[in-house]
Amino acid sequence: MSDSSTAERERIQLSSAVVRFAGDSGDGMQLTGDRFTTQTALAGNDLATLPDFPAEIRAPAGTLAGVSSFQLHFSDQDIHTPGDAPDVLVAMNPAALQKHLSALKLGGIVIVNTDAFTERNLQKAGYEESPLDDGTMTDYQLHEVPVTGLTLRALERHIEEGELNKKEAERCKNMLALGLVSWMYSRPIAETEEWLEDKFSSKPEIADANVTALRAGWNYGNTTEAFAFTYEVKAAKLTPGRYRNITGNQAMAYGLIAASVRSGLPLFYGSYPITPASDILHELAKLKHFGAATYQAEDEIAAMGSVIGAAFGGHLAVTASSGPGIALKAEAMGLAMITELPMVVIDVQRGGPSTGLPTKTEQSDLFQLLYGRNGEAPIPVIAASSPADCFHAAIEAARIALTYRTPVALLSDGYLANSAEPWRLPSVDALPALDEAFAFTTEPNQQDGGFAPYLRDEDTLARPWALPGPPGLEHRLGGIEKEEGSGHISYDPANHHAQTEMRYARLERIGAQLPPLEVIDPSGEAEVLVVGWGSTKGPLQAACHDLRARGRKVARVHLRHLAPLHPDLADLLRSYRVVVCPENNMGQLAMLLRAKTLVDVKTHNRVTGQPFASSELVEVIERSGWGEQA
Amino acid sequence: MTTNEIKLTKKDFTSDREVRWCPGCGDYAILATVQSLLADVGARPEKTVFISGIGCSSRFPYYMDTYGFHTIHGRAPTVATGLAITRPDLDIWIVTGDGDGLSIGGNHLMHTLRRNVNLNILLFNNEIYGLTKGQYSPTSPLGSVHKSTPMGSLDRPVNPVSLALGAEATYVARSIDTDRQHLSGVLRGAYEHRGTSFVEIYQNCNIFNDGAFAALREKGQKEHNQIRLVPGEPITFGPEGERAVIAEPDGSMRIVPTEEAGERVVVHDPTRVEPTTAFALSRLAPSPTGPTPIGVFREVDRPVYDDELRKQVAAARERYGEGDLVELLEGGNVWDVL
């Protein structure tokens, strides 16, 4: 890739950049984004991604509904969000331009595939006139590139020799776009070439066509005069260690495998396909050599039931779903709670209610997990806060489940599930030793040689985990209220009240045994506290960083545990002048905090299916903490 | 392992809990038969698990001195499947009813049968909702007048044996609560069968639906109506064997006087791989108020879901070796920051 013309270009050093690829769902934008992400990671940048795609597998071509996009923020510094406004938009058709242009920074670069700007496509995108000609683009640096035509020309030989037809050749246009953007940002493409050759190893002609298109894109940038500059974002100064890129769903699957390895329990994963949780199943189904059994049940209820059976059988039992599926599991989760069996229920939240926005993100299932069961049915609820954090959250969920013999709800969301970030790999030996969290009971626990399945551990209030098998421990579990100790069914009013209190006491016991809360306040003098949970961590972190840079003293705490809340949390909240809690729901954690602490927590709520922009949060925190003068 | 050599008795399978079904309920007879059978076949209480849903029959596990799980309405097969996958060493029994198994839990029943998970399903059919005090059930005859259907039920009843055969269950049988010997026979077959065994048991609810199965239970009637299926034998019935089952050219079956049947009499063969004949037999009796086949309709071998799942895990370990966590985490593109 050396050419004399490269030397004539000015290479501009940037600290960070935000690139968004947008096109039709069939244009391969997610794959293009994934490859650019990997190239960027290998270049040593810190990064964060935001894939955004329609629920329809193939929405009508060329329509606004069918637009799929992938945004990548990369930097030579530590970053926490996929970026607010893109610097570069690659629009593969008019609909993509229509949908995404307004997000672009003024003066930003737009690369459009002019071949897709046909009258028909313009019409479908709602343009009466071509935006390329009517002045729409005057505020931007427009690059008109005939991406489809260039691709076909690059693949002329392949078509002539019958290696692929015109349609197949056109499909390589995303690689041409990737090649061009890779050239712009001085990203090496060798890794993507290898990846293509590997992916299409059984169809070498397709691999070759894609590699040819990729190189053609690079060369186009290099040889045409259209692009005056190239850009470079140097490697970030990350904490030393070994890194990889990981998405939330992948990290979740690996965390479950890690919990299995560290507990010595084989993993049982029973689930029913649902967006955006299915990739956890796909990932685990490939990992059977870890002893993991994956079971695709006939429905959400069956998945939950199977997990209860597997927990009774002595496996590390896990299911995952999204909001609608969790609703179906609710009754069985109550059974899991009253039978006090350890298991993890993951909710990869999406826009609700009902079917809602299946491929978009939201944090609106918190109350469902906290309270969405009949009767008083408290279970621990925790949340992951970044893609890589899903790994550690899965282990923490397993720890609580195994230690206290309870179903644990673990919240992720569509943003975490599909986004990627560089992850410094943990030392496996330093992960929690979960085998210390439990022991199977194999001997009678009564003086008379009998077995009382609801006799509790004084420290954890956990009941014995007694699997079928040992003689003398035969006992019956079930959904009817249990008599303390014996576990026999009991309709005694006082016993029911005592059992209910005990179940709350056990939850509180989990809280009492947590490490201290981590409050980030570099000044040590902040009077404004930002409270968050789940995937808002990145934007909140970035917003607080910006506020501090402009002199505001602001503290931040991000909650891993939503039930129980940390026992120190109420005092912490009371010690600040202002507490603000932005959420991608209508104020669920804020309501909980108000109820539990009587602190007048300020809220900021948005449910657009997209994560917060950090600039939005800067304004919110500024206004909440210091009034309107922002 | 001396304990394994001691012959257990019915008592060893009987829990200390007081049985709380209504006096005269058919469930008592089934409970006693199951407890005796398990002792007879040499089952071990600690290796036996009874799992139930919701309904009168679903109290069954509390009365067995084995491991047990009284789950939620219709969901026993789901819990049992998770247990069966993780614990090949256990004998797992599901106790369900016509409401629990065929109405709210119908979906799970169908999928468990088609998967052929290694467990035994006992479906107590009393053609009524007992625990909720007398509404019609999915097996109540059309036009049943009960609390929720004062002008008669409108939906066509399901035939549980037909349903199980339609789902290609590998062991399908029917018996009667009070016919201890016959019930023991089909239960023994269920116990010995690898895969899902499905046994429909006609069970009298003497409170809300007394006499629903009188044609098959009562002296004077049952001799005329029980069509006892015996493998390898021509299907004839009646006190003198005077009636016979024949196959029509279209595959359906019909009852005719034995002397008219001649060569056309059906010889029972539950091991036919194709379930069509067994299905035709199940359609012989539209309701258990007249001649009705009892016994084993189908008994075939087919790969068992949980066995196959465990085989995949073993095959993956054979192929890739025991999973290594460090290798997994470093499996993608990794880079080092110094």
Give domain status of residue A108, yes or no: yes
Q: Is the pLDDT of residue A2 over 70?
A: no
- Residue A315's contacts (CB-CB under 8 Å, 6 or more residues apart) are A265, A266, A267, A268, A293, B86
Phi and psi (nearest 5°) for B175? -150, -170
CA distance A34 to B112: 40
Pick from A446, A474, A482, A486 the residue to mutate for testing the B interface (most B CBs within 10 Å).
A474
Residues A165, A278 share a domain: no
Q: Which of A402, A437, A472 is the last residue of a domain?
A: A437
Q: Is the peptide bond before B288 cis (omega within 30 degrees of 0)?
A: no
CA distance A248 to A538: 13
CA distance A613 to B161: 60
Residues A111, A204 share a domain: yes
Q: Which of A396, A418, A437 is the last residue of a domain?
A: A437
Q: What band does A227 get if pLDDT is binned at 50, 70 and 90? A: confident
Find, among A379, A376, A377, A350, the residue nearest to A365 by Cα: A350
| Interchain CB distance below 8 Å, B71 and A299 | no
Residues A258, A215 share a domain: no
Q: Which single residue is written with the structure tokens 């049982």?
A: A268
Find, among A188, A255, A213, A221, the residue nearest to A88 by Cα: A221
DSSP state of B221: T
Q: Is the pLDDT of residue A452 over 50?
A: yes
Q: What band does B333 get if pLDDT is binned at 50, 70 and 90? A: confident
Q: For position A193, which CATH number holds?
A: 3.40.920.10
Q: Which of A398, A413, A437 is the last residue of a domain?
A: A437
- Residue B240's contacts (CB-CB under 8 Å, 6 or more residues apart) are none
Amino acid at A144: E
Tell me if residue B149 falls in helix, strand or coil.
Answer: strand
Check: CB of residue A173 under 8 Å from CB of residue A213.
yes
- What integer pLDDT is reported at residue B5 of this predicted model? 64
Residues A79, A49 share a domain: yes
CA distance A213 to A543: 40
Check: CB of residue A206 under 8 Å from CB of residue A164.
yes
- What integer pLDDT is reported at residue A56 of this predicted model? 85
What residue of B is the nearest CA neighbor of A298?
Answer: B111
Residues A303, A189 share a domain: no
Q: For position A313, which CATH number holds?
A: 3.40.50.970
**Phi-psi bin for A413: left (phi > 0), alpha (psi -120 to 50), beta?**
beta
Q: How many CB atoms lie within 10 A of CB A550?
A: 8
Would you call A287 an interface residue with chain B, using a CB distance cutoff of 8 Å? Answer: yes
Q: What is the ipTM of this complex?
A: 0.97
Q: How many domains, chain A?
A: 3
Q: Which single residue is written with the structure tokens 């468990």?
A: B112
A526-538 confidence digits (pLDDT tens): 999 999 999 999 9
Give domain status of residue A494, yes or no: no
Pick from A191, A289, A424 the residue to mutate for testing the B interface (most B CBs within 10 Å).
A289
Residue B89 exposed, middle or buried by CB count within 10 Å (0-12, 13-18, 19+): exposed
Give domain status of residue A171, yes or no: yes
**Percent of chain A, pLDDT > 90?**
94
Residues A369, A221 share a domain: no
Q: How many CB atoms lie within 10 A of CB A230?
A: 16
Pick from B59, B67, B92, B309 the residue to mutate for testing the A interface (most A CBs within 10 Å).
B67
Q: For position A535, which CATH number holds?
A: 3.40.50.920
B111-148 confidence digits (pLDDT tens): 999 999 999 999 999 999 999 999 999 999 999 999 99
Q: Is the pLDDT of residue A105 over 80?
A: yes
**How large is the average pLDDT for residues A446-463?**
96
Give domain status of residue A577, yes or no: yes
Residues A204, A150 share a domain: yes
Distance from CA of A289 to the nearest CA of B (A): 4
B261-282 confidence digits (pLDDT tens): 999 999 999 999 999 999 999 9
Residues A407, A275 share a domain: yes
Residue B82 exposed, middle or buried by CB count within 10 Å (0-12, 13-18, 19+): buried
Residues A559, A414 share a domain: no
Give domain status of residue A153, yes or no: yes
Sorted by where each starts, the structural domains of chain B and their CATH numbers stand as 3-212+303-307 (3.40.50.970)
Give domain status of residue A489, yes or no: no
Q: Is the pLDDT of residue A5 over 80?
A: no
Token pair, residue B336, equals 């080092």
**How large is the average pLDDT for residues A231-259?**
95
Give domain status of residue A461, yes or no: no
Distance from CA of B253 to the nearest CA of A (A): 34
Among candidates B44, B67, B316 on the partner chain, residue whose Cβ is nearest the Cβ of A475: B67
pTM: 0.94
Residues A415, A334 share a domain: yes
Residue B260 exposed, middle or buried by CB count within 10 Å (0-12, 13-18, 19+): exposed
Q: What band does B285 get if pLDDT is binned at 50, 70 and 90? A: confident
Q: How many CB atoms lie within 10 A of CB B259?
A: 8
Give domain status of residue A467, yes or no: no
Distance from CA of B2 to the nearest CA of A (A): 13
Domain around A597: 519-626
Q: How many CB atoms lie within 10 A of CB B129?
A: 26
Residues A228, A190 share a domain: yes
Residues A321, A195 share a domain: no
Q: Is the peptide bond before A353 cis (omega within 30 degrees of 0)?
A: yes
